[in-house]
Structure 1
Amino acid sequence: MLSHSPGMMNLGTIDVYLNTLGTSLQTVAYSDEEQENEAWRGYLERKNVVLEFLHSDLSLHLLRRHHKRIELLKKCSYYIEILPKHLALGDQNHLMLPTTLFQLIDPWRFQRMKKVGTIQTKIQLLLLSDLLEELERGRQELVHFLENYDMMTFLSQWDTIKQRLSYLSDQMDYFLALLVPGRLYVKHRLVSDVGIAKIPHIRLVLSTKLPLMFDRRESVAYEDWVSLKWFVNSQQPQLEQYELRFKLLESRTPQERAHCGTMNVTSNTFEIHNLLPDRLYRFTVKRAETYTLVYEQWHDSILLKTKPYLEEEMESATSEP
């Protein structure tokens, strides 16, 4: 028999070693493949979370709707509304009407609350615009993550992405809450000490009225008069007091500079007569100012040009050769 030198393996030992090594390498390969599959599944799951958030809570369609809503809110009229907080203990009467409450409120203190309401409304509108811009930037950031991050980068940055999702979700909730005018916080008692037995508990809230809009199709100019019509968000307006103004543009004489006026109107249609023919006028409509108005920055205007007199047209036609 042949003797074997120390440190050398026979053929059988080599076969066993190679088989063992092959099995180990195969196990490592399977393990790496499973890890890659697991990472890929985790990547797809997390990516779908971001996509679902973009398609539902932060979709382009929804952001455009919110933008239109803010533009509408900027055109609204804002009022203080006085409401009873609750009935006094043991009081069997119905809730006091707001007109009755007004008689009990100190006028000077109420004027101070109107200033607070004005400031609160301005801040609320500014916050809404800032929040919407932040949500739009957040959407762009999430889209950038999806389009530019590979799987490994996306997974390594997942904690940061998850924090952004949570933050943007909270900001959206805050934005939606601000869309509705809220309560005014009263630091001092508004009801004067008038010697009544039970001082009512009241609360002040901000309410909105949609802007008045001229009906561009129904508002028509004739030779020396115009017929105007306006509405509130395509709905039949309630009985309100309106203020209608008109002004001649590009006056040609000093007398024409005074060709303007203001009318108080109680319906949503009105005719203005004794206008100059073939001239351009601006008409503006707004609600008549009330005691509870706190903020109103926008009023709708329309430009209409009166037609030339028919006689003037006939004279110009007959004078032509």
Structure 2
Amino acid sequence: MNFQVTGLGRDEVKMDSPQSFLDQEEAEEAEDQQLLEPAAWRAYTERRTALREFLTADLSPHLLKRHHARMDLLRKCSYYIEILPKHLALGDQNPLVLPGTMFQLIDPWKFQRMKKVGTAQTKIQLLLLADLLEQLDRGRAELDALLQSPDPRPFLAGWGLVAQRLAELSAVMDGFLAMMVPGRLHIKHRLVSDIGATKIPHIRLILSTKTPVLFDRKGSVAHQDWASLRWFVTTQPAAPEQFELRFKLLDPRTQQERSQCGIIPVAACSFDVHDLLPNRCYRFTVKRAESYALVYEPWRDSLTLHTRPGPPEGPSPGRLGKPGLPLTTLSER
């Protein structure tokens, strides 16, 4: 049985061309315009344009990508309690209002309680930020699907719900941006009491962040029995910082090799670790040294390096009875 297809003209054969799809889309749009009254069509196009502008400017993929990057950074930051006087007159030289002095005057037990409050507040804040960002992602996907739909009803009869959704997402974005900055800690009781005749000013506690410490992966190199480690902080601190470098041999084979680990305090952004085993893997981690004001530090950078193999223990069978190579040649190889 033979099937014959007839009636295909020249224009119908070229329906797969890009221009034909554009013509078809314009034809469908013109058909929709004919089905709607002029006022309804004008409202439809204006509302589609408003939705497109919102998704392009206020909730663009590029903007959400930046917020995700900032969120990842916040998850790696260190969080501290910072003490500031609640009211400080301009030019006040009272040494009791200096942060270092006020730390010494605060009740240690009460301050430890405030550190627990700060830890809980930081964790809750990070969880809320993640939830708000997820709402923004989900809301953009919903609105983008609506924009791609050819159905005009949501832009006409159901525009009230769409406008309400736009307002909700705008409020979510405002809340997300406001919460990106660590907030103030609420103090139920005074942490500093009056000392003699000197009245200590009221203080306020806020949460501050420090950017994470990151290994310089190009500058950190493992040699045969030692490793040169380099790290950096993206934001330069106002004062020199102390760091804590840890190293550990992976997969130790003997009880003695289990001692191949340690914690090294470092007052710089580089350190050389010696007395390592050749041809073995070591994991290194770095972070800031413990601070009295630290409340939360969920992340630390880690780096795994493999030391170079050591020299052969003896001459290989192929070289027995043969003159050895010059020392320079051996080192080059």
| TM-score of the superposed pair, with normalisation by structure 2 | 0.81
Change (3 A) 1:194 1:42: same
The question of 1:163 aligning with 2:192 is answered no
Q: Look up the equivalent residue of 1:251 and give its one-letter code.
A: P
Provide the C-alpha distance between the structure 2 equivalents of 1:175 and 1:314, rounded to a whole number of angstroms: 67
Provide the C-alpha distance between the structure 2 equivalents of 1:93 and 1:301, rounded to a whole number of angstroms: 44
**Once the two structures are superposed, what CA deviation does each residue of 1:253-286 show, in whole Å capped at 9, x if it has no partner?**
1110121111100000000111111111001101
Q: Tell me what 2:93 maps to.
A: 93
The question of 1:245 aligning with 2:246 is answered yes
Please state whether the residue corresponding to 1:86 is helix, strand or coil.
coil
Provide the C-alpha distance between the structure 2 equivalents of 1:197 and 1:91, rounded to a whole number of angstroms: 19
Please state whether the residue corresponding to 2:37 is helix, strand or coil.
helix
Q: Look up the equivalent residue of 1:75 and give its one-letter code.
A: K
Provide the C-alpha distance between the structure 1 equivalents of 2:316 and 2:239, rounded to a whole number of angstroms: 47
Q: Tell me what 1:307 maps to.
A: 308
Provide the C-alpha distance between the structure 2 equivalents of 1:92 and 1:63, rounded to a whole number of angstroms: 44
Change (3 A) 1:142 1:34: closer
- Higher CA-based Rg: 1
1:162 Cα deviation from its structure 2 partner: 0.4
8 Å Cα contact 1:145-1:154 kept in structure 2: no
**Once the two structures are superposed, what CA deviation does each residue of 1:130-159 show, in whole Å capped at 9, x if it has no partner?**
000011111111112212252234211100
Q: Tell me what 1:291 maps to.
A: 292
Provide the C-alpha distance between the structure 1 equivalents of 2:217 and 2:235, rounded to a whole number of angstroms: 12
Change (3 A) 1:196 1:64: farther
Change (3 A) 1:265 1:254: same
Change (3 A) 1:302 1:92: closer
Provide the C-alpha distance between the structure 2 equivalents of 1:236 and 1:93, rounded to a whole number of angstroms: 25
Provide the C-alpha distance between the structure 2 equivalents of 1:205 and 1:318, rounded to a whole number of angstroms: 71
Q: How does 1:1-321 map onto structure 2 within 5 Å?
A: 36-87=37-88, 92-94=92-94, 96-233=97-234, 239-312=240-313, 315=316, 318=319
Change (3 A) 1:223 1:149: same
1:112 Cα deviation from its structure 2 partner: 0.7
1:312 Cα deviation from its structure 2 partner: 4.7
Structure 2 unaligned blocks of 5 or more: 1-32, 323-333
Q: Tell me what 2:20 maps to.
A: none
Provide the C-alpha distance between the structure 1 equivalents of 2:181 and 2:166, rounded to a whole number of angstroms: 24
**Once the two structures are superposed, what CA deviation does each residue of 1:201-256 show, in whole Å capped at 9, x if it has no partner?**
11111000000000000000101000000001286895111111100011111110
Q: Look up the equivalent residue of 1:45 and give its one-letter code.
A: E
Provide the C-alpha distance between the structure 1 equivalents of 2:71 and 2:318, rounded to a whole number of angstroms: 52
1:310 Cα deviation from its structure 2 partner: 3.3
Q: Look up the equivalent residue of 2:215 and give its one-letter code.
A: F
Residues 103-112 or 244-253, more deviating: 103-112
Provide the C-alpha distance between the structure 1 equivalents of 2:264 and 2:80, rounded to a whole number of angstroms: 23
Q: Look up the equivalent residue of 1:178 and give its one-letter code.
A: M
Please state whether the residue corresponding to 2:178 is helix, strand or coil.
helix
Provide the C-alpha distance between the structure 2 equivalents of 1:134 and 1:35, rounded to a whole number of angstroms: 34
Q: Look up the equivalent residue of 2:179 and give its one-letter code.
A: L
Change (3 A) 1:57 1:311: same
Residues 65-74 or 96-105, more deviating: 96-105
Residues 177-186 or 230-239, more deviating: 230-239
Q: Look up the equivalent residue of 1:284 and give its one-letter code.
A: T
Provide the C-alpha distance between the structure 1 equivalents of 2:197 and 2:163, rounded to a whole number of angstroms: 58
Provide the C-alpha distance between the structure 2 equivalents of 1:193 and 1:236, rounded to a whole number of angstroms: 33
Provide the C-alpha distance between the structure 2 equivalents of 1:162 and 1:284, rounded to a whole number of angstroms: 50
Provide the C-alpha distance between the structure 2 equivalents of 1:303 and 1:115, rounded to a whole number of angstroms: 33
Q: Look up the equivalent residue of 2:62 and give its one-letter code.
A: H
| TM-score of the superposed pair, with normalisation by structure 1 | 0.84
Provide the C-alpha distance between the structure 2 equivalents of 1:314 and 1:247, rounded to a whole number of angstroms: 32
1:315 Cα deviation from its structure 2 partner: 4.7
Provide the C-alpha distance between the structure 2 equivalents of 1:298 and 1:259, rounded to a whole number of angstroms: 23
The two structures, once aligned, show a CA RMSD in angstroms of: 2.6
Change (3 A) 1:308 1:34: closer
